[in-house]
Chain A
Amino acid sequence: MLPIESTFDLSEEEYKRVQAHAENLFSGWTQTGENDVEAVESALIRMYARERHPAPYIVWCDSPWQLHLTPAEFGSVTDESRFDNACAPLNDPITNAFNRALSKAQLTWPPTWQARVIQRVGPQKVAQWREACARARLLMTAKMQMDRQAEADVDSTNLVWGRWAADLLPVYATPALALASDDWAQELLAQLADLYTLRTGAFAFVFRHCAVFICRNPTVVKIDANARLHSDDGPSLQFADGYSMYCWAGVNIDPELVLNPTSLTVDRIESEPNIELRRVMIEKYGTARYIEDSGALVVAEDDCGVLLRKEIPGDEPIVIVKVVNSTAEPDGTYKTYFLRVPPYIAEPREAVAWTFGLDSDDYAPKLQT
């Protein structure tokens, strides 16, 4: 959540109103259960009408993997994405001032996720869903021919907008609430109301020229105090078709780590190639316990971090630099990472410089975040 109090000079009453609004939006994160299909579809039709577009063809998906695959299946009939700036209801100077914040609200699936998603869901289920898409696409094409919409090539972006992004809505609502009698403010609030309907009415959306793809609400959502997906006794996110995600403070982790945490060993931690997952594993294992159990000794310390060294009989030693993030977490703590470096390295600064291919003397970032 952005520090709204520092962005606008609000009276105490206005601030309370904005806070209440923000908390209301914040609570929407964990919405589960039935979708209000009619409310969502009417809000979408109003949003498209404001952009002078005919009512979109709407496709509901049960699960994020379906939402991820579906727009491509409809490809050539849906045209390029619409509402890329879904949260920017009006093109005015105040909205523009938040463009930078807005860019954070857009979540793009990393390219490597597609293969992973197909692998997890199973090729057979994916094939069945694609067949269902092909049938729906025939219907959509027929509808669009009636609407005399020209066919156009689709771009390949899979920009997904969902409730995680909508935490920025209070930012847009702030000036409107402070100027509540103004016509412009009323219009803005009406548009925000539609976005709010979308936020609580379904989990995620892909907006296209003539179509909107929607992922239904999850059946389970569990978050931590910082509104990051988090659960230590089951999935953090689960959908009606059983598709689930296990998360630790916002990081997508192996279900085994949640369901059977005592199975975690130093060997398992050290064989994990992904640094973020390794950090979570070390956190779950306990940082001090990890250092002790791994047999590593502190050999040097400076303002870049701590250098640890572990002798391995008959093999080269493992040298690890322990570094701390420069940006604090929302709760004020700092994430700690362990990076392995070549065995000849003797100082933490030299180790961090090496991770960026630099010599120790050449490493002095002007700014580090």
Chain B
Amino acid sequence: MSVNEKFSAIRKGLLEFLLLQIIAADKVYVADILKQLSATEFATQEGTLYPLLSKMRREGLLDYEWKESEAGPPRKYYELTEKGREQLRETLEYWGKINGTVKKLGQK
């Protein structure tokens, strides 16, 4: 099992966190998110993204508004709710802690 495979579960779990971060920065629609992720280890497809976004919206972390586009049907632009921002703050804090632990453990 390569390192890449081993981390696939972790990557999957982190995706939600990354979405919070991307959407917090700017109002975006799905193609923007995919473009931002595509250059990273977290490259994703719509098939994964839409179910995840719907779940997050159901949990009240984000919301969307419709915008007309010149290239086809109207698009959903996502933005974070107050609850989403709160979750992002908590996650960032927790991530910092985990990061510290990973660096610290095993050093004497």
A and B co-occur in one complex: no
Interface positions of B (Cβ within 8 A of A): none
Interface positions of A (Cβ within 8 A of B): none
